[in-house]
Structure 1
Amino acid sequence: MQLIDGKATATAIKAEIAEEVKAIMAKGGKQPHLAAVLVGHDGGSETYVKNKVLACEACGFKSTLIRYEDDITEEELLACVDKLNKDDDVDGFIVQLPLPKHIDEQKIIEAIDYRKDVDGFHPINVGRMAIGLPCFISATPLGIITLLKRYGIETSGKKCVILGRSNIVGKPMAQLMMQKQYGDSTVTVCHSRSKTLKEECRAADIIIAAIGSPEFVTADMVKDGAVIVDVGTTRVPDATRKSGFRLTGDVKFDEVAPKCSFITPVPGGVGPMTICSLMKNTLAAGKKEYYK
């Protein structure tokens, strides 16, 4: 069993990006600039955004954090998005989700200029990704594809089961894993209503678990030699920790790991790659790689 170290891989990629940024700026090019909009004080969102700012520093990017209280109106947030769309110095920006209940998330996503949508959530980027055109790919699926490639894991012709059908992970992951230039796999998507979920998992060469249910995948669902990618991060109360909780994945790691050829840990697996992919998208936005 080999551990897929997302933390080390992300560190290496950020160093590669920093070198490229140095070369761009040495030739008189523009420093890539990522802006993040944070609404309210959600603990998970605070941590993510803090890590994104640190990643920008590591990559040599300029970063801007715009904060609002959670009583901001939808109109005010749309005005902020419009301002960032028009700011020529900002190459890409994200509005950290989830947003407060009174704000229509989809409306905000669609208001973002797709050429600056480094989260890859805009329908234009989602549509382009689905048909294999160059675009910003949402960060978690892009991070997983990058890990599989960097570890030389064979995906072509393999049976891949994806647990979960969210717009952020499950659906784009399925699209990428079936496309020739990325996964080239035979893909099955399972979710909470799937009747044959265990049987599908037992037949899979690769399982990507993004179902949001702690320790959902158990040893009896995994065949020997399978590759397991665990996207889940649920805070589970733990009195022995200073924080009062521990991060738990969708896979029961201790019992599943011995059966695998490769497995990602939680934390330190997919998480760091998500932020690293956002950096890759920001660099591509700065270079006008996909959209002029």
Structure 2
Amino acid sequence: LTDSNCAKNRKSLNLLPPKVKRNTVIIEYENELNPGENITNKKLKWIPKDWKIILNNIKEMRKDLNAPVDTMGCHMCHDRTADAKVQRYQTLVSLMLSSQTKDQVTHAAMLRLRNHGLTVDNILKTDENLLGKLIYPVGFWKRKVAFIKKTTEILKTNYQEDIPSSVEELCKLPGVGPKMAHLAMDIGWGEVSGIGVDTHVHRIANRLGWVPKETKTPEATRKALQDWLPQSQWSEVNRLMVGFGQTVCKPVTPQCEKCLNKKLCPTAAKNIGKIE
């Protein structure tokens, strides 16, 4: 299941955030001037107002680690006692299963797969009907059976049973999109190549006005966020915002009244005004 298909499904379910007024923004220089450099050579970039305060507030609200992603996210689905290659393979499979699927369902499916034997060789030997029973009821499970089988064959043939070590190569695998690729690079290889943007990150970024204009897809949101958010925050921001989206900034009836950012978020101001 590709990220583009996921975006279409979200649109059909009417989960895209409502249009909100963009926060007042500030313009900062992208790089400090070198001594003697002409000021006209500075490159300007868009940065949302109060983003550091907002981000710190989200971190404060997430400090208890009480969201499903904290214990059942894809970073928690692999066997930490297994060989490094096997751990990376299991991480990739969990990411493939996670699309359009709650963390609880993905985690349960991963436990069944691991009990069955989640290695490249064993999955290649596994009948598609049995594989389907093992991963059901993840979203679009029939398509994911085919994707997992095809991807596993490619890993066996071309990558010595390991996963690719670049976003470009990962995205060539059946059923793997940019979000999965960036998270696989982070979790599997310890390399921060980009922000993993799912429905939660996409929704919250638009609600907060963290994009210069409304974005329609997670991939567009990723590019917009990476244009201004310091790279030091990229690895943490996915899990941070996913958990925030699961517990506070929910798709339907977000709990704006309890949010520490209710006076800074344009969507919260609108929602609380409706309640009052």
When normalised by structure 2's length, the TM-score is: 0.30
Taking structure 1 as the reference length, what is the TM-score of the superposition? 0.29
Greater helix percent: which structure? 2
Greater relative CO, 1 or 2 (CA 8 Å, sep 6+)? 2
